[in-house]
Structure formats: structure tokens, C-alpha cells
Amino acid sequence: MNTELQLEQTFDEVVDAIAGPGIGIFPGFLEGAQVAALRQDFANLPPWQLTPAGIGREQDHHTNERIRTDKTRWLEGDSPAQRGYLALMAGLQRQMNRQLFMGLKDYECHYARYDEGDFYKKHLDAFRGRGNRRLTTVVYLNEHWQPDDGGELLVYPEKGKEILYRVRPEAGTLVCFLSEQFPHEVLPARRERLSIAGWFRIDDPLAPALQP
């Protein structure tokens, strides 16, 4: 089990990545037992609670299967596995605010399931006209993921078409990046692909963003 000191060291590594290039990839961020608990929690959800993912926010929110085809369910802390994960992210939030003064106020996240063939086209996580989402996290829950399974996360620079990172969605891996800086996409998977996508938010969308 991760000790408090180990967690602090891991959080420091994430902070350093955000302060530097603005993005970091951290295999083993979640231990095997944590991944297993979240996978089981995900599996226990009634099918009707998983809904087609949308794009846009509030009155602009809508589904578009030409852009994304995954299904999601928000985490609300209604199980021990969810509460444990949310507590972990709260610790990361405190560390970010303590060291980088980012002013992160809250955290929202959802389970995401990509069935075979599902995808999410290239996009930015900061909504049009809204800068509330400042820091993106993605944690993967997939056991024994193979290169032929597809479903990689591709991360691009803010300007340009070259691929900066190609991330295999392996169990326990965390990807964390500045939401307004890195366009990204999810390639079609050849098997079920499970993850938790989340965002640290601020109150003032007009506040200047951290520059990598």
C-alpha cells in the first residue's frame, strides 16, 4: 500500500510535470488493489446508469457520434472505491495549490467505457468560452492491455499536427495535463476500454492559466 510519504513524492512528480512541460504520464499511479476495486465498482453499475457521452456544456450540451461514442457515469462518492479515488485526487489538488498556486476549487470525474470500435476525436477539454476546467486527469483501469488492442490516447501540441505522446491505456496509469493546452483524441479500441476522466476546476474562467 502507498505510504503517505510515497504519495507525497508521487504528487510532487505530477506537480513538477505540470510546472514544466504541462503534461505528465505516470504508470502505477494506482496500485493493483485500487484498480481492482474501481473496476468492480464500475462493473456493479446498472446498465441504465451509463449514458452516451456528450460534448459542450449546459445549453450547448449534446451528443454527436461523429465525435465521440463512449458511455459515461459521474463519480459521486457513493461507494468506498469512489470515495477512495476522490480522496486521492483531493490530495493531488492540495499539492497543486500549495506549490503552483493554481486556485483549483473542485474536482469532477466520470467513468468512461469505450466498447469495441468506440473513439473520441481530437478535441480540447476546456469548453468553448469557458476556462473553468484547468487540469485534466485520466486514469486507466484496463488489465493486460496489449499493443494490438488499440485505444491509445494521442496527445498533440497546442499548435501543430505532430503527435507528442501515444499512451497505451494500461491499468493504474495516470495522464495529467493542462486542459487548455493539449488537444488529444482516443483511437478506436478493439476490446472494452475503461477509464476515469476528470477535471480540476476554478471559479473564475477569466483567471490567467498556468503556462507550461
Tell me the domains of the chain and their CATH numbers: 4-55+64-201 (2.60.120.620)
d(C-alpha 101, C-alpha 112), whole Å: 30
Q: With a cut of 80, say whether residue 208 has pLDDT above it.
A: no
Task: Write the pLDDT tens digit of every residue in 91-107.
Answer: 999 999 999 999 999 99
Task: Write the pLDDT tens digit of every residue in 122-153.
Answer: 999 875 456 689 999 999 999 999 999 999 99
H or E segment to which residue 120 belongs: strand 120-123
Strands ordered across the beta sheet of 106-114? 23-26, 174-178, 133-140, 193-201, 106-114, 71-74, 51-52
Task: Write the pLDDT tens digit of every residue in 53-94.
Answer: 654 444 444 445 567 888 999 999 999 999 999 999 999 999
Task: Write the pLDDT tens digit of every residue in 153-174.
Answer: 999 998 888 999 999 999 999 9
133 CB neighbour count, 10 Å cutoff: 21
- Give the CA dihedral 115, 121, 125, 129, nearest 10 degrees: -130
